[in-house]
Amino acid sequence: MKNFISIDDVDDPISMVEKVFEIKRAPLADTTIGRGKVLGLVFFNSSLRTRMSTTRAAYNLGMNVIVLNVSSDSWQLEFEDGAIMDQGAVEHVKEAVPVMTSYCDILGVRSFPGLENRDKDYQEEVLHSFVKNARCPVINLESSTLHPLQSLTDLFTIEERKQSEKPKVVLTWAPHPKSLPQSVANSFAQWMKKTDYDFTIVQPKGLELPEQFTRGAKIECHQEKALAGADFLYVKNWSSYHNYGAREDHPEWTITSEKLALTNSAKVMHCLPVRRNVVIADDVIDGANSIVVEQAENRLYAAQAVLKEILKNQQK
Amino acid sequence: MKNFISIDDVDDPISMVEKVFEIKRAPLADTTIGRGKVLGLVFFNSSLRTRMSTTRAAYNLGMNVIVLNVSSDSWQLEFEDGAIMDQGAVEHVKEAVPVMTSYCDILGVRSFPGLENRDKDYQEEVLHSFVKNARCPVINLESSTLHPLQSLTDLFTIEERKQSEKPKVVLTWAPHPKSLPQSVANSFAQWMKKTDYDFTIVQPKGLELPEQFTRGAKIECHQEKALAGADFLYVKNWSSYHNYGAREDHPEWTITSEKLALTNSAKVMHCLPVRRNVVIADDVIDGANSIVVEQAENRLYAAQAVLKEILKNQQK
Amino acid sequence: MKNFISIDDVDDPISMVEKVFEIKRAPLADTTIGRGKVLGLVFFNSSLRTRMSTTRAAYNLGMNVIVLNVSSDSWQLEFEDGAIMDQGAVEHVKEAVPVMTSYCDILGVRSFPGLENRDKDYQEEVLHSFVKNARCPVINLESSTLHPLQSLTDLFTIEERKQSEKPKVVLTWAPHPKSLPQSVANSFAQWMKKTDYDFTIVQPKGLELPEQFTRGAKIECHQEKALAGADFLYVKNWSSYHNYGAREDHPEWTITSEKLALTNSAKVMHCLPVRRNVVIADDVIDGANSIVVEQAENRLYAAQAVLKEILKNQQK
């Protein structure tokens, strides 16, 4: 594996999941592969799980870590080609990224979408500027449209917990007080489609995820119908793709114990952070079916597997 | 030792001090006990000494460290049970803490009081939410009402520098331009009461520390009288407990060389940061009796002793 | 080497450059010299290259690192002797620095000038307060008037890339939308004067750098004349020293390909971050003569050489 930008960097998702199993069984089995190497983590946005799990993953492999919070630690970056830089931006990504990556062996970058200009967000300007200008492998720590470290974790978590060969997995939209990116949902759909699971997306009319990610999945708009028989329920809010960035209010889509009762005692998943009693009701998230915390813990093993694959590739 | 939340986690303070002596004599004597382990440090508030000394302590034991500044790095947390999270808070402590602690082997947390609601502060909502939800040991890096890493340091510093078996130790209130917590003073009183020192607290009327921490100590309200014969003078401001959070102005309580002259050439201590010429006059803090810098240096050895005890307990 | 504050801490700049060559040839040749040691990095201002390269340099030597962003992590510091600290500053440098340095083996500090009070800035109040109060060696990570880690890098980069024994090196002022410090230019001049290069400074009238740093260099005020025959072109903006901190607008001083054509195919250098199309035009910075990224990469090797010299000195 050279970079880890999206599922396209993974030859076989299920064999990648096998590597996550190996790491989880023995997280400290190989603490020398990263010795003398440094992981850089560049954050344009807040992060708890990604920041901590990826750092821990690097430590477990013997790597050191440098964290850069762009807005507070460093300089405002320019991304536009040909810009006359006499305004706020102090440094162009054309210098910043080769320089950062000359100090690191692997660089992770998180950059959320602006949710104002769909074309710009879906062109993944920031992420692609990093990949294009980097002198070392790049890991996507959640970009405008994708969150593959989360999706690998999600696939692993389902593989670990599934009780039938081809579980029914339902991705359901849920309410949220803010406009959120589509990235987690897009990315989850992309990974699910590589499996032979029975995969359904249920989303209110007007909140359809972009087809390039969902094509091939079953699409529903009636939440209760979609939940019937589900083995895994992946809950997530996203703002509108078609009326780009708009938030819609559908309070009746909150996941409650009544809705959970419609499923095949589904395991409840969410990428976190989750707004309790808005996205998911307390009794569901505190109940026996909720696996959101162990799902988050698995972020560590997924990140470690990705780092290890990249380090192995560097040894060649 | 499982957690280090307060003195109640320490079987015998004096034997704990012995462990600090051992560390100070040879800080790098055991750099393998923490290998492969990670200390998480979660800050809701500013920190210089605690941040640096605890990090260094972890390094000295072979641990790695992840620092999380909650307000700038991560998400605003909700602490209330049953909250409908449609406002500012993005994540509930019920998810955040189990997740953080699944990436760490020990987690430290600093959270100052709001100084507005005494019941809330004295219930230690934040600290106890962490302990309750943690999947690894928790260290108190200063909570609403206590600062036990400071107090262990203080006891060690007195033991190291005392010239009589049972020194006279005086904790004196001093002026400050802001409303400060009672935590350092509460905690110091709690630890002093476990010794056989001659321990006196001198505080202006109206600024009495809460009795649950001071019961058993000699209480004075005349500063000069209290200072007579003191071997150690612990200087600290705090805001009112009874008129909760109120600041009072008693400029005549500043520690000056005239006051120091009333003591038995007392060693002058303060947890730092200290406002010069408000809390303590320049000539005292710059004078031969001031041990505030070595006291701060000792924070490293105290933190290292605590981490080591917890790591030893994990090995069992 | 005890401290690394300015060129005065370096016995022989060229022999120091030799040590940078050694490091660059084998950055991981000695990963034990720093074992058990900690580098503290204290930032009063933003930093990308210095932060990342110095951290990586420490890791390469086996050191651990503690970063302190003063304004967000810690307390506002007081520098004035005798201050009555009843205002914003919470801690005096007389306590903060001995304490910080008691937790570290080497401490780096970055503090930019205010550009309002020339005497204050040129007295290097912050840097000198650190050196004076430190209990461990101090490294200048860019102070009010100097940036020696950059200058050592610059000298190394020229030595590595020069094609004649005594190249013509031209430091040229260039436009910028903000008032910038003189530190990089001052420091570069100071280091160049220790070589036998043909060294010229070209600066608009009114923007002369302070003579104490430039004395002995050729001084020009006609940019095009100065560029003739240059082997290295060091481009940098600075605000006025004489009308202290004032910004001047000379858009005709931007470095363009037309100007580059006047040189002896000069290598183009800049300390970064650079404002494209204001300081240097895109076609120059993207062209074959630009070595700004490799110059930045060399910051790592220069920092590592400095850290190693200090560590070697500590072993004595």
CB-CB under 8 Å, A38 with C59: yes
Distance from CA of A194 to the nearest CA of B (A): 28
User: Is the same domain home to A204 and A311?
Assistant: no
Inform me whether the pLDDT recorded for B71 exceeds 90: no
Domain region containing B106: 7-146+299-315
User: Is the same domain home to C75 and C86?
Assistant: yes
Average pLDDT, whole number, for chain B? 97
User: Is the same domain home to B122 and B161?
Assistant: no
Distance from CA of B239 to the nearest CA of A (A): 32
Cβ-nearest to C28 among A36, A66, A102 = A36
pLDDT per 10-residue tile (average), chain A, 316 residues? 97 97 98 98 96 98 96 90 95 97 98 96 97 98 98 98 98 98 98 97 97 96 98 98 97 98 98 98 98 98 98 92
Distance from CA of C165 to the nearest CA of B (A): 46
Is residue C222 very low, low, confident or very high in pLDDT (cuts 50, 70, 90)? very high
User: Is the same domain home to A30 and A50?
Assistant: yes
Per the DSSP assignment, residues forming a β-bridge with C218 are C200
- Angle at which helices C183-192 and C148-161 pack, to 10 degrees? 50
Taking the C-alpha atoms of residue A23 and residue A103, their distance in angstroms, rounded to an integer, is 27
- Per-residue pLDDT of B276-299, as tens digits, reads 999 999 999 999 999 999 999 999
By C-alpha distance, which of C293, C245, C288 is closest to C267? C288
Which pLDDT score, from 0 to 100, does residue A72 have?
Answer: 86
Q: Chains near A, with 3+ CB pairs < 8 A?
A: B, C
The sign one gets for the Cα dihedral C179, C183, C189, C195 is negative
CATH number at residue A178: 3.40.50.1370
User: Is the same domain home to A142 and A155?
Assistant: no
Instruction: Provide the residue type at C47 as one letter.
Output: S
Helix, strand, coil proportions of chain B in percent (round to 5)? 40, 15, 45
Taking the C-alpha atoms of residue A233 and residue B210, their distance in angstroms, rounded to an integer, is 50
Neighbours of C248 (CB within 10 A): 18
Domain membership of residue B1 (yes or no) is no
- Per-residue pLDDT of B301-312, as tens digits, reads 999 999 999 999
User: Is the same domain home to C154 and C271?
Assistant: yes
Inform me whether the pLDDT recorded for C316 exceeds 90: no
- Per-residue pLDDT of C275-313, as tens digits, reads 999 999 999 999 999 999 999 999 999 999 999 999 999
Domain membership of residue C1 (yes or no) is no
From first CA to last CA, the distance across chain B in angstroms is 11
Taking the C-alpha atoms of residue C50 and residue C54, their distance in angstroms, rounded to an integer, is 6
Interface test with C, best of B276, B280, B295, B299 (most C CBs within 10 A): B276
Inform me whether the pLDDT recorded for B74 exceeds 90: no
User: Is the same domain home to A268 and A171?
Assistant: yes
Cβ-nearest to C52 among A68, A86, A98 = A68
Which pLDDT score, from 0 to 100, does residue B316 have?
Answer: 83
User: Which is it for strands B168-173 and B198-202: parallel, antiparallel or unpaired?
Assistant: parallel
Domain membership of residue A70 (yes or no) is yes
CB-CB under 8 Å, C277 with A98: no
Taking residues C189-193, report their average pLDDT. Answer: 97
Cβ-nearest to C293 among A40, A74, A95 = A95
Inform me whether the pLDDT recorded for C208 exceeds 90: yes
User: Is the same domain home to B93 and B172?
Assistant: no
Instruction: Provide the residue type at A145 as one letter.
Output: T
Domain membership of residue A2 (yes or no) is no
Q: Chains near C, with 3+ CB pairs < 8 A?
A: A, B
Cβ-nearest to B85 among A48, A277, A293 = A277
Average pLDDT, whole number, for chain C? 97
| Secondary element (H or E) of residue C201 | strand C198-202
Taking the C-alpha atoms of residue C254 and residue C238, their distance in angstroms, rounded to an integer, is 13
Interface membership of B247 toward C (CB under 8 Å): no
Taking residues C150-162, report their average pLDDT. Answer: 98
Domain membership of residue C164 (yes or no) is yes
Interface membership of C193 toward B (CB under 8 Å): no
User: Is the same domain home to B169 and B120?
Assistant: no
User: Which is it for strands B232-236 and C64-69: parallel, antiparallel or unpaired?
Assistant: unpaired
Taking residues B177-188, report their average pLDDT. Answer: 98
Domain membership of residue C2 (yes or no) is no
Structural domains in chain B (count): 2
CB-CB under 8 Å, B85 with A276: yes
- Per-residue pLDDT of C25-77, as tens digits, reads 999 999 999 999 999 999 999 999 999 999 999 999 999 999 999 988 888 99
Chain A residues in contact with C273 (beta carbon < 8 A)? 75, 90-91, 95-96
Distance from CA of A287 to the nearest CA of B (A): 13
Cβ-nearest to A95 among C60, C273, C300 = C273
Per the DSSP assignment, residues forming a β-bridge with A234 are A171, A269
Domain membership of residue A1 (yes or no) is no
User: Is the same domain home to B95 and B171?
Assistant: no
User: What is the tally of helices (H) and strands (E) in chain B?
Assistant: 13, 11
* pTM (2 d.p.): 0.97
Taking the C-alpha atoms of residue C60 and residue C91, their distance in angstroms, rounded to an integer, is 34
Which whole-number Å values give the CA distances from C144 to A248, C47, C112, C138, C302, in the listed order? 52, 14, 5, 15, 20
Which pLDDT score, from 0 to 100, does residue C75 have?
Answer: 87
CB-CB under 8 Å, C103 with B282: no
Chain B residues in contact with A52 (beta carbon < 8 A)? 40, 66, 68, 99-100, 103-104
Domain membership of residue B2 (yes or no) is no
Contact between C144 and C121 (Cβ < 8 Å): yes
User: Is the same domain home to B191 and B273?
Assistant: yes
Q: What is the largest CA-CA distance in chain B?
A: 60
CB-CB under 8 Å, B95 with A274: yes
Distance from CA of C282 to the nearest CA of A (A): 7
Which pLDDT score, from 0 to 100, does residue A210 have?
Answer: 98
Which pLDDT score, from 0 to 100, does residue B75 have?
Answer: 87
The A residues from 52 to 91 touching B (CB cutoff 8 Å) are 52-53, 55-56, 59-60, 69, 72
Rg (CA), chain A: 20
Taking the C-alpha atoms of residue B127 and residue B187, their distance in angstroms, rounded to an integer, is 15
Interface membership of A275 toward B (CB under 8 Å): yes
CB-CB under 8 Å, A66 with C69: no
Q: Which has more confidence, A75 or C127?
A: C127
User: Is the same domain home to B104 and B215?
Assistant: no
CB-CB under 8 Å, A74 with C59: no
Transcribe A75-115 into DSSP letters. Answer: -PEE-STT----SS--EEHHHHHHHHHHS-SEEEEE----S
